[in-house]
Amino acid sequence: MNTFSAPKGTYDLLPPQSADFLAVREAISAPLRRAGYGYVETPGFEQVELFARGVGESTDIVTKEMYTLTTRGGDELALRPEGTASVLRAALQGSLHRGALPVKLWYSGSYYRYERPQAGRYRHFSQVGAEALGAEDPALDAELIVLAADAYRTLGLREFTLLLNSLGDRECRPVYRAALQDFLRNLDLDEETRARIEINPLRVLDDKRESVQLQLADAPLIRDHLCEGCKSYHEQVRELLTAAGVEYRDDPRLVRGLDYYTRTTFEFVHGGLGSQSAIGGGGRYDGLAEMIGGPALPSVGWALGVDRTVLALRAEGVELPAGETTEVYAVPLGEEARRSLFSVVTELRRAGVAADFAYGGKGMKNAMKSANRSGARYALVLGERDLAENVVQLKDLESGEQTAVALDSAVGQVLTKLR
């Protein structure tokens, strides 16, 4: 039994399952790179205040789920629970907003929330995210949604649904907020939820408890309170998505779990994941830059869960292409053969061939078993007699055919066979 194990609610990624996570990250990031998004990487921890201001002091993320620590110097830090606030902070600190706008960024990393572990919900999880900073344009909202939907389709995912809503802006949100508060104050709610009504009543709409949801059946909807500007903006997003062939479902109760969203809000859900159905989502956050001390910088973005996406693919029975597989397996028999064949393997790798080596002085039988297990197409076998004749045996592991080739032309012979 091991002395140590991964902390509760976390996981290790190990081959061969880890190949699926790499494939998902690549599939999500590839369309972003083609659309002009540059890569950004931020620290795994930030000042607590960054998330308190940006994510919202009334959210469960900040009040219950954030991992915090105090440094020896007295600084209050938090492991990042989400990516947007960190990316925006980095862009502002790096003065990217002073150049051409929008600033288009993508990122990939691990995030941390202290939650009750269950399938699809971990205390450590992986996301790929994208942010477009500095432009208020329905086409930018639609672009990001299309890129996410296309990434899912590229992976082979089919049974997901895109939920879409608008949360209004500074003009119409206060009117809706007041109407919602009046409604919520008359419900039978616990003290903690009642306190949330006064801080951010939209958080109550996001409460997953059945006892609360039953009482929200007749709650006022924000779509009935949108100003003309927000109505027009949302309609343009909807039209662009339809023109791009992206299906969606209007969800007037969609608010998501972060305080910074304005106008466009969306979520991708998958029916094969049970209660933890969200596999990704995002929206517009036009006031977040000002919340964290920056200038006005209207922005939009999303984060897609790598873990959840892998679970959704498995629920649909989608098998992702295998990662890099061994093409050639080298089997040396004896020390001199070991030195000579190691050089050949090094040349093959430099020529772009996936090659492996029988390490540990394995005998012929065990080495060939390893070659077959590796999935290699060919084996290179070099023994003392071969060395004396300056040849190496090139064996086709599918047909069993074996040919002696000159040792100094082995790399070229292998490349010809493979290509």
Annotated binding site for L-histidine: 82-84, 113, 127, 131, 256, 260-261
Helices 138-155, 18-34: axis angle to 10 degrees equals 140
CA 312 from chain centre, in angstroms, equals: 13
Compute φ and ψ for 5, nearest 5 degrees. Answer: -140, 165
DSSP state of 316: T
Q: Give how far Cα 110 sits from Cα of 122, 127, 299, Å.
A: 11, 6, 22
173 Cβ contact list (under 8 Å, min separation 6)? 167, 222, 262
Q: Report the C-alpha gap between 28 and 147 in whole angstroms.
A: 8
Q: Report the C-alpha gap between 261 and 279 in whole angstroms.
A: 18
Annotated binding residues, written as ranges, equal 82-84, 113, 127, 131, 256, 260-261
Residues facing residue 281 across a β-bridge: 267, 303
- Nearest-CA neighbor of 108 among 40, 155, 54? 40
Strand pairing class (249-250; 160-166): parallel
308, 281 contact by CB (below 8 A): no
Count the helix, strand and coil residues of the chain and give each as a percent rounded to the nearest 5.
Answer: 40, 20, 35
Strand pairing class (355-357; 378-382): unpaired
Helices 335-350, 410-418: axis angle to 10 degrees equals 50
Sign of CA dihedral 202, 204, 206, 210: negative
Q: What is the DSSP string of 123-159?
A: SEEEEEEEEEES---HHHHHHHHHHHHHHHHHHT--S
Strand pairing class (160-166; 38-39): unpaired
41, 107 contact by CB (below 8 A): yes
Query: Within the chain, how many helices (H) and strands (E) appear?
Result: 16, 16
Complete edge-to-edge strand list for the sheet that includes strand 124-133: 38-39, 103-112, 124-133, 299-305, 278-284, 262-270, 160-166, 249-250
